[in-house]
Amino acid sequence: MFKGFADWVKSLKNEGVEHIASEERRAFLKLGLVITGVYAGGKLLSVVSRVREVYADIPEYVDKYPYKPHYSMVLRTDRCIDCQLCMEACRKTNHVPPYGWRTRILEQHLPSGEGQWTRRFMPILCNHCNEPPCVRACPTRATYKDPETGIVKVNVKKCIGCKTCMAACPYDMRYFNEEKRAIDKCDFCWESRLSKGKFPTACAKACPAGVRIFGDLADPNSRVYQLVHDPYRAIWVLRPSMGARPNVFYTIN
Amino acid sequence: MVATQGAVKNSKIVGLFVVSLILLVIGLGAGIRSFVVGHMEAYGVTREIPWGVLISTYVFWVVTSTGLCLTSSIGHVFGYKPMEPVASRSIFLAICTILAGFFAIGMELENPWRLPIWNSLSPNLRSNIWWMGTLYGAYLFFMLIEFGLIRLHRHKQAALAGLLGVIAGVAAHSNLGAVFGLLHAHEFWYGPYMPIYFIASAMMSGAAAIIFFTWFAYRFSGREMDESTVKALQVTGKVYALLTAVVIFFTVWKIIASLAGKPHGKWETIMAFLKGPFAFNFWVFEVFLGLVLPFLVVVGVRARDINAMALVSGLALLAIFVMRYDLVIGGQIVPHYAGMHIYGLPEYYHYTPSLSEWLVVLGSLGLFGALFLWGEMAFDGHKPIH
């Protein structure tokens, strides 16, 4: 039956567009515009209606940046494919022993329907919090927030190894490094790269999917600033109820 | 080796003293070996559960020490005469227990030699663990002075040193509570509950320790307890019953507060206690042996039968050790990223103490035992001073 239909269509004579009346053309274009308009309008409406919900996601401390540069990272988490090149680069660059890690990738199974889930990868690293619980807990100020960059660093020689900072960190970002005889953690590659004028962090540089955007949150021209200050974009931090005020933000494209 | 004079020295005491020394040497050996091979190799603690049985043992000893100081201060600091006969031994036990605690944490810290240097050169005044360590240092100092003055019969000055010890002890111990209580990361601990609870449970532990070790000292040296000591223990028994009731009250509200509205973190932990991996520890040790049994027995014998009270106090001390273990480990078992749909995340983090950790725990017991028994021999059974 369909074969016959196809043959019939092929057998029709091509009338060409030059013979279509202008009224018909206009009607057709109008119809197209209406469809597009409805579609675009709906899209706009849906964006407008999302604004409020998205605005509410921006942490309340955003827009107050005490450090210059205020180092920060935005993770476009839905772009992550778990290739682990960031972990590998971090390990090599910062001499992280096999028993420890400074960054890793968690696998989320987000419920997307009855008995169904969607996989999403979530890279994690030190959040370099504005109110770091680890810094408050350390008895000897071995771990401290750098007054210039806001990076949470460790002064190895002062570490007594009480592990209070490990217990204090809501994000599981610290481990005891046997070789250093001190707590080790992500320092945004300060020692290995930033202090030597190299930019960005090893993990951000290694990521082939552009998940990790690193930069100065106090600089309006930086990518991180623009991403975090985009009111049409959902931005969140991990475990906000801890009150630690992380400088690592998450978003999806 | 030991200044032994007077009646309190027999083969049993000397034998137990030697056993204690052997335990101490074994624990010390295990601890030193752990520094050499690395704590990661020797101890069972992990990145997720960084505080293990050595921290809970430390807490156990210092809770008991503070309690000994506080409970006995009713007599020798605040002048309630009937409790004075147990003062000397209580103060001495407070010193023994705090030293046993320092032993446990000394073996637990990765770099204990850096502590005295950087604690003074680079203090963090916002850190509870800094205050706790520093104040316990002051506390030990005052307790040593107080004990010396008691032995020298200078009771007025001793009471003053004792008062300073009480103040330092309360401040230090509530700061230990705050070491846990002011960590937002662990909801089960977080809040003002811990510092307050620590003081109440310290006094309970102290009362149990006074009753048990005073009884033990007389029993082991085969001496008859004089009437004033019996009276002092009966008063301590009443204090013990009261404080057990207070801690029962605290425990009941902790459970209710952790259940009501299923608060994240708290709820998961309390379920581990009520019917999860900590249920046996919780119901058998904490609730039955630690609280209900001693309360019922001490009230049942109307705080008169020293033998019965000593028995339940001894069991309660064991239960309090488990209580501290549950408090320290239990507070860390809920995974950091719980509730975020993370694949492969366990329901609870798992920790098992290693052999080395247990040996260090025994070593701290050995140190305590050796000091306690040496004290019995050296100070003639802490003969009541009139």
pLDDT at A30 over 50: yes
Task: Yes or no: say if B293 and B21 are a contact pair by the CB < 8 Å rule.
Answer: no
Residue B33 maps to a domain? yes
Q: Nearest CA of chain A to the CA of B34: how many Å?
A: 12
Q: What is the CATH number of the domain that holds A126?
A: 3.30.70.20
Q: Nearest CA of chain B to the CA of A115: how many Å?
A: 14
> Whole-angstrom Cα distance, residue B324 to residue B180?
12
Set of chain B residues whose Cβ sits within 8 Å of the Cβ of A170? 184-185, 336
- What does the pLDDT average to over B252-278? 97
Q: Nearest CA of chain B to the CA of A52: how many Å?
A: 24
> Whole-angstrom Cα distance, residue B53 to residue B360?
10
A:B CB pairs within 8 Å: 128
Considering chain B, what is the average pLDDT of its residues? 95
- The reply to whether B73 and B114 lie within a common domain is yes
Within 8 A by CB and 6+ apart from B36, the residues are none
pLDDT at B3 over 50: no
User: Into how many domains does chain A fold?
Assistant: 1
- The reply to whether B24 and B86 lie within a common domain is no
**The pLDDT value given to residue A57:** 67
Least confident interval from A45-59, A96-110, A150-164: A45-59
- The reply to whether B157 and B190 lie within a common domain is yes
User: Into how many domains does chain B fold?
Assistant: 2
- The reply to whether B27 and B85 lie within a common domain is no
Set of chain B residues whose Cβ sits within 8 Å of the Cβ of A160? 109-112, 114-115, 118-119
Please give the residue range of the domain that contains residue A164: 61-251
For the record, the structure tokens of A229 come out as 């200050």
- The reply to whether B54 and B113 lie within a common domain is yes
Chain B residues bordering chain A (beta-carbon distance below 8 Å):
38-40, 45, 47-48, 50-51, 109-112, 114-115, 118-119, 122-124, 126-130, 133, 179, 183-186, 264, 332, 336-337, 340-344
**The pLDDT value given to residue A101:** 98
Q: Do B129 and A166 touch (CB under 8 A)?
A: no
What is the interface pTM, i.e. ipTM, of the complex? 0.92
- What does the pLDDT average to over B123-150? 96
- The reply to whether B62 and B9 lie within a common domain is no
Location of structure tokens 């031994």: B89
Share of chain B above pLDDT 90, in %: 93
Residue A209 maps to a domain? yes
- What does the pLDDT average to over B104-131? 96
Please give the residue range of the domain that contains residue B203: 43-335+346-351
Q: What are phi and psi of A123, to 5 degrees?
A: -70, 145
pLDDT in tens, A59-105: 888 878 899 999 999 999 999 999 999 999 999 999 999 999 999 99
Q: Do A139 and B129 touch (CB under 8 A)?
A: yes
For the record, the structure tokens of B50 come out as 């960084």
Rg of chain A, C-alpha, whole Å:
26
Strands (E), chain A: 71-76, 103-113, 116-125, 143-145, 152-154, 175-177, 182-184, 212-216, 235-236, 248-251
Residue A155 maps to a domain? yes
Least confident interval from A50-54, A85-89, B361-365: A50-54
Least confident interval from A32-41, B229-238, B258-267: A32-41
**The pLDDT value given to residue A38:** 62
- The reply to whether B67 and B36 lie within a common domain is no
CA dist list (Å): B165 to A191, B70, B146, B168, B247: 46, 9, 8, 5, 23
**The pLDDT value given to residue A49:** 46
Q: Nearest CA of chain A to the CA of B170: how many Å?
A: 19
Q: Do B47 and A100 touch (CB under 8 A)?
A: yes
Set of chain B residues whose Cβ sits within 8 Å of the Cβ of A109? 341, 343
Task: Yes or no: say if B146 and B161 are a contact pair by the CB < 8 Å rule.
Answer: yes
Confidence band, pLDDT 50/70/90 cuts, at residue A28: confident
> Whole-angstrom Cα distance, residue B153 to residue B78?
17
**The pLDDT value given to residue A39:** 61
Residue A200 maps to a domain? yes
> Whole-angstrom Cα distance, residue B98 to residue B100?
5
> Whole-angstrom Cα distance, residue A99 to residue A158?
22
Q: Do B50 and A242 touch (CB under 8 A)?
A: no
For the record, the structure tokens of A238 come out as 């991990």
pLDDT at A56 over 90: no
